[in-house]
Structures are given as C-alpha cells and as structure tokens.
C-alpha cells in the first residue's frame, strides 16, 4: 500500500498559518534540511508550545534532542516560572550542537541535556515530570514508554511524535524488510495507549502523527 500523507495543500496552509519564525529557528531548520538531521515539523513545534501553554508544564522530559529544535521550541514557549527541560540524545555530535544552540538562545539555565542512551539514562533520573515528549528511535517506542511510565505524574501529559509513520501502521505495511520491527513496535505502542486504563489518548494527524495522552488523576 502507498504511503498515506496529509494532502500537501493542507500542510502548506497549516504552515502558512504559523506565526513567522525567528531567523534563529530558520537557521536550525535549514541546517537540519541540509544535513538530513531529523526534527519536528514546525507545526508540531507550535503544537508543543500550545500544549505547554495549556498545561503550564514545569518539569519536562524529552527523549531525542536532535540538535535542539524541539527543546528550544519548548524552552522559548510562553515563559513559565520554574520551567525546566531534561533532554536526552544518543548522538554525540548532535548533543554538542544542541548544547551550543541552548547557549546561543540563552536557555542553558533551564535545560539539562544528557548525552547517552535514553534507555540507560531514564532509569537513573530521580525526578518526575508533568510533560514528556518522545521523539527518538521509533523501534524503541514501547521500551521508552515502559521506562517513562513511573516518571509521568498523575495529570501529566505524554506527547509522542511520528506515531502514524506515513500511514504504515494502519495496514501494517513496511516498504523494506528492515522497517518491519519499527512499524510493529509503533503499532504496539498505539495499542498500549488505546487499552491503557490510566491514560486518555488522542491521535492528531499533524506532521507524521502525534499522540497526546493525559495520565488520569485517580
């Protein structure tokens, strides 16, 4: 089956309706495009900012820093007293570039970047979080979910990017054999979110699909 994508005219219109981005964000977008570095779509960056505005989250955990674009979107969302972002990146070069962007944007004091494998770092974190954003290796999504679960506070929000995977998860289609595990694991994660008695979840067809869940307050 062919990839299912949001029609281009809708994407263009949604992007047209975004506020103009600063030259700083445009610079990072161009760098990522030139070097094939993955990053959230600008409309997903905006969506994160909207969610943070609603939730007024203070303790944020991000899995998958990249070179810092989404963390910067969250750090520079409408200012909130005491907001702090913990973000984890496995690639040393990307981690270092993210750190220098955090300094350039003067947000280093509110971001703690970790270099390493999230699967090893998450169990060592002593904090709990009221907002968790997952955007790392898609084939590890169920693993990340199991690891972050005990750190997500009741009432906390969990956002996961790329959950529709070009629509492949709908029909369990993989264009190449090596993508099979990734598709199966993202689908497993979606089934987990669907069946989870302590979560309420919506899937938003924005970018490559974003799930938004809230941990119920018992």
Ligand X SMILES: C[S@@+](CC[C@H](N)C(=O)[O-])C[C@H]1O[C@@H](n2cnc3c(N)ncnc32)[C@H](O)[C@@H]1O
Min CB(218)–ligand X separation in Å: 31
* CB-nearer residue toward ligand X: 48 or 193: 48
Min CB(7)–ligand X separation in Å: 23
Min CB(161)–ligand X separation in Å: 7
How many other CB atoms are there within 10 angstroms of residue 206's CB atom? 19
Residues 50-109 that bind ligand X (CB under 6 A): 64-66, 69-70, 88-91, 94
* CB-nearer residue toward ligand X: 1 or 150: 150
For residue 67, the 8-state DSSP code is: T
**Among residues 6, 14, 137, 204, which is the contact residue for ligand X, using CB under 6 A?**
137
Q: Three-state SS for 128?
A: coil
Find the length of the chain: 218
* CB-nearer residue toward ligand X: 88 or 189: 88
**Residue 136 engages ligand X in binding (rule: CB under 6 A):** yes
Residue ranges with strand state E in 30-122: 59-63, 84-89, 111-115
Residue nearest ligand X (C-beta atom): 66
CB 167 within 8 A of CB 5: yes
Q: Under rule CB under 6 A, how many of the chain's residues touch ligand X? A: 20
Q: Where does this chain touch ligand X (CB under 6 A) — which range of 6-14, 18-26, 117-125, 200-208?
A: 117-125
b/e per residue 166-196 (b: at least 16 CB within 10 A)? bbbbeeebbeeeebeebbebbbebbebbeee
Q: Three-state SS for 58?
A: coil
**Among residues 61, 107, 135, 211, which is the contact residue for ligand X, using CB under 6 A?**
135
Structure tokens at 147: 């690891």
Residues that bind ligand X (CB under 6 A): 38-40, 64-66, 69-70, 88-91, 94, 117-119, 135-137, 140
């Amino acid at each position: 089956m062919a990839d299912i994508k949001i029609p281009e005219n809708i994407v263009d219109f949604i992007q047209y309706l975004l506020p103009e981005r600063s030259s700083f964000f445009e610079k990072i977008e161009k760098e990522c495009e030139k070097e094939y570095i993955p990053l959230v779509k600008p409309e997903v960056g905006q969506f994160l900012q909207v969610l943070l505005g609603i939730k007024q989250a203070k303790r944020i955990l991000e899995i998958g820093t990249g070179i810092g674009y989404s963390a910067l979107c969250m750090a520079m969302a409408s200012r909130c007293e005491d907001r702090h972002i913990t973000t984890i990146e496995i690639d040393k070069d990307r981690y270092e570039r993210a750190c220098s962007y955090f300094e350039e944007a003067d947000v280093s004091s509110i971001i703690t970047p970790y270099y390493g494998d999230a699967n090893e770092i998450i169990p060592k974190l002593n904090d709990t979080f009221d907002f968790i954003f997952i955007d790392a290796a898609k084939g590890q999504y169920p693993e990340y979910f199991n690891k972050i679960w005990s750190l997500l506070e009741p009432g906390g929000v969990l956002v996961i990017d790329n959950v529709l995977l070009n629509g492949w998860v709908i029909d369990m289609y993989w264009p190449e054999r090596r993508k099979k595990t990734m598709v199966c694991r993202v689908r497993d994660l979606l089934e987990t979110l669907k069946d989870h008695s302590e979560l309420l979840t919506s899937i938003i067809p924005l970018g490559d699909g974003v799930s938004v869940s809230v941990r119920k307050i018992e």
